[in-house]
Structure 1
Amino acid sequence: MDNANVAESQPQVQAAGGRSRKVVDEVSGWLRVLDDGTVDRTWTGPPEALPLMQPVAPYAVPRDGHTLHDIPGEPSLRVYLPETNGGEGGRLPVIVHLHGGGFCVSHPSWLMYHHFYSRLACAVPAVVVSVELPLAPERRLPAHIDTGVAALRRLRSIALSSEDGALDDPAAKLLREAGDVSRVFLVGDSSGANLVHFVSARVGQDGAGTWAPLRVAGGIPIHPGFVRETRSRSELEVRSDSVFFTLDMLDKFNAMALPVGAGKEHPFTCPMGPQAPPLESVPLPPMLVAVGENDLVRDRNLEYCDALRAAGKEVAVLINRGMSHAFYLNKFAVDMDPCTAERTQELIDAIASFVSCH
């Protein structure tokens, strides 16, 4: 059964007490907005995708060369600590991960993120800090940007904590000891890649003095979910081979996440468009942009890269040949398909090289 048929077969959700609540809006397979304002995120798409959405519990005993820790709070952080010692002072660069999901779904504890970012932490090596983001439509943009900035503030606060027991959380102490916050790199998947742009810009606008000793040394948007009114739907539909990412899904997610009344040219989904501030005026760090050759939003990603260059920004581009949107998060494809595994390794190598150069 395809996603559309699954959604059509479940027009109502049973509430406590036997009352049926009507579905008033939905993103097929992913979520349903009910008439009482609540949101049901029970996955109703292909069941083979469910294992990728299972949460991975933290562990303090090393596995595959790293440990995994959760730091609850506002916002909550998930920290991958490789066993490898860093350079001067034994500290490692910090990669701050902003997860995707169309601003509306997913969680940093899911297996799809865990398998990639645990591997990235050891390969770079770097401390990887994944941020738990709010979800739309309950919380619309710019809440996600605000949370990304709050995560950096929390990271800075942890780094500035003294050694006299000011940090009660053992995981926060480990993070402070391992991470070099003067070399922070923002990385995001899909909608999280959009956030890389806006969180970087917000920090840049504040100025280096406001954030010291924390410094955003680079941004790594991977397959950002940028859209434009001018895209060619027929061309893009032929290009994509992903059953979990369609133009209709992207449109629905954006409609639920953008400020009420905003259109597709809103800067949050089109930072290089006419409604956005001129990129020349936006303070951004060096960028490495990953673009899927078969991605629905490939043209918009390349347009973004061209706009960055025209604005005098430092940008490197990695084309993931033959790959569709967020291919590297599919652990099963990475494990079983040699081409997907090769492209995933190319992505990891490119990120490691970018970090080492900045």
Structure 2
Amino acid sequence: MVQEKKLVDEVLGWLRAYDDGSVDRTFTGPPEVKFMAEAVPPHEEFIEGVATSDVTIDSNSGLRVRIYLPEQIPTAKTKLPIMLHFHGGGFCISQADWYVYYHIYTRLARSLPAICVSVYLRLAPENRLPAACDDGYAALLWLRSLAKSESHESWLNDHADFNNVFLIGDSTGGNIVHQVAARAGNLDLSPLRLAGGILIHPGFVRAERSKSELEQPESPFLTLDMVDKFLAMALPLGSSKNHPITCPMGPVAQPMESLNLPPFLLCVAETEGHRDGIL
């Protein structure tokens, strides 16, 4: 007789975790936004000026990235900057091939122009932190291996400027930007150069609720309870939200002034519920 698995936790609309360790990420939220979380297959032919390819960068771990290559490269000798992207999702949901990221990064690749490389990060609770940060760092080291001609990926080796690599991440992807940049600060990346980082609404929080968290109206897509559950599933066992990955400005984290970070652009909207903790 097969024993029925039991639900042990869930984040309404996004994730259900069971006692056998399995996780169901079937989206059950508002149907009108379901398309944003649907996967877009890669296409190596140019569509609206951009081609995409999914590449396995580590055969042992299976780590993959999605590459966005713009069609209009100004001249044959032009090399394009690289935007290394880490997706958000509370470390528990989301993937590099979701429509919301496809929509954003095809536009970004085409308009800059730049080559965008988005990492398929491991997700919690199956892979607790620092797994996603390790994946982001591994992707940066892979770019360095291409720059050193230790490995080869034609779209990047033919068209990328490894002297202009930028990290970019939204929500908890912004946390990964900070973590990867901090690790890279102690490493000789040459001939690759980490030129900067862009943190878009990073998921920086503190153990105690901030004023903006308590006063800002909650979105049905992301409530404070959802954030708490995602982070409880993602952080190392026994950790609070003051962990350095979620609270790099807190008392447990390494002091910011001691880190060798590249220039950062921090993007925070005035209605961001976590803005007090971020700023």
Match in the other structure for 1:185: 166
State which structure, 1 or 2, has the greater radius of gyration over its C-alpha atoms: 1
Structure 2 counterparts to residues 171-250 of structure 1, below 5 A: 172-206=153-187, 210-232=188-210, 235-236=212-213, 238-240=215-217, 242-250=219-227
Taking the aligned partners of 2:192 and 2:237, their CA distance within structure 1 comes to 34
Q: What letter matches 1:219 in structure 2?
A: G
- Indicate yes or no: 2:247 matched with 1:276: no
Higher alpha-carbon deviation: 17-26 or 145-154: 17-26
Q: What letter matches 1:216 in structure 2?
A: L
- Aligned to 1:48, the other structure's residue is in SS state helix
Q: CA RMSD in A?
A: 1.8
Alignment coverage as a number of residue pairs: 275
Structure 2 counterparts to residues 258-297 of structure 1, below 5 A: 258-297=235-274
- Aligned to 1:271, the other structure's residue is in SS state coil
**How many Å apart are 1:47 and its aligned residue?**
1.8
- Aligned to 1:244, the other structure's residue is in SS state coil
Match in the other structure for 2:35: 51
Match in the other structure for 1:335: none
Taking the aligned partners of 1:19 and 1:293, their CA distance within structure 2 comes to 49
Structure 2 counterparts to residues 98-113 of structure 1, below 5 A: 98-113=86-101
**How many Å apart are 1:211 and its aligned residue?**
1.2
Q: What letter matches 1:63 in structure 2?
A: I
Structure 2 counterparts to residues 117-196 of structure 1, below 5 A: 117-161=105-149, 167=152, 172-196=153-177
* Counterpart contact for 1:247–1:296, Cα < 8 Å: no
* Counterpart contact for 1:241–1:294, Cα < 8 Å: no
Taking the aligned partners of 1:143 and 1:87, their CA distance within structure 2 comes to 39
Identity %: 51
How has the CA–CA distance of structure 1 residues 20 and 44 changed in structure 2, closer, same or farther, with 3 Å as cutoff? farther
- Aligned to 1:137, the other structure's residue is in SS state coil
Taking the aligned partners of 1:73 and 1:54, their CA distance within structure 2 comes to 23
Taking the aligned partners of 1:277 and 1:86, their CA distance within structure 2 comes to 42
CA displacement 1:145-170 (0-9 Å, x = unmatched): 111111011122223337xxx64xxx
How has the CA–CA distance of structure 1 residues 24 and 76 changed in structure 2, closer, same or farther, with 3 Å as cutoff? same
* Counterpart contact for 2:57–2:142, Cα < 8 Å: no
CA displacement 1:279-307 (0-9 Å, x = unmatched): 111111000010021111111222xxxxx
- Aligned to 1:59, the other structure's residue is in SS state coil
**How many Å apart are 1:90 and its aligned residue?**
1.5
Taking the aligned partners of 1:229 and 1:87, their CA distance within structure 2 comes to 51
- Aligned to 2:182, the other structure's residue is in SS state helix
- Aligned to 1:62, the other structure's residue is in SS state coil
Taking the aligned partners of 1:191 and 1:88, their CA distance within structure 2 comes to 37
Structure 2 counterparts to residues 35-46 of structure 1, below 5 A: 35-46=19-30
How has the CA–CA distance of structure 1 residues 178 and 240 changed in structure 2, closer, same or farther, with 3 Å as cutoff? farther
- Aligned to 1:295, the other structure's residue is in SS state coil
- Aligned to 2:206, the other structure's residue is in SS state coil
Larger RCO (CA within 8 A; separation ≥ 6): 2
**How many Å apart are 1:19 and its aligned residue?**
4.1
TM-score w.r.t. length of structure 2: 0.93
* Counterpart contact for 2:210–2:276, Cα < 8 Å: no
- Aligned to 2:137, the other structure's residue is in SS state helix
**How many Å apart are 1:87 and its aligned residue?**
7.0
- Indicate yes or no: 2:57 matched with 1:70: no
| 2:82 alignment partner, one of 63, 71, 94 | 94
* Counterpart contact for 2:186–2:260, Cα < 8 Å: yes
Q: What letter matches 1:200 in structure 2?
A: A
- Aligned to 2:44, the other structure's residue is in SS state strand
* Counterpart contact for 2:249–2:256, Cα < 8 Å: yes
**How many Å apart are 1:224 and its aligned residue?**
0.4
Gaps spanning 5+ residues in structure 2: where? none
TM-score w.r.t. length of structure 1: 0.73
* Counterpart contact for 1:149–1:199, Cα < 8 Å: yes
CA displacement 1:314-353 (0-9 Å, x = unmatched): xxxxxxxxxxxxxxxxxxxxxxxxxxxxxxxxxxxxxxxx
CA displacement 1:226-273 (0-9 Å, x = unmatched): 11133346x535424532111111111111111110011111110001
Q: Runs ≥4 in structure 1, deviation > 3 angstroms? A: 86-89
* Counterpart contact for 1:240–1:295, Cα < 8 Å: no
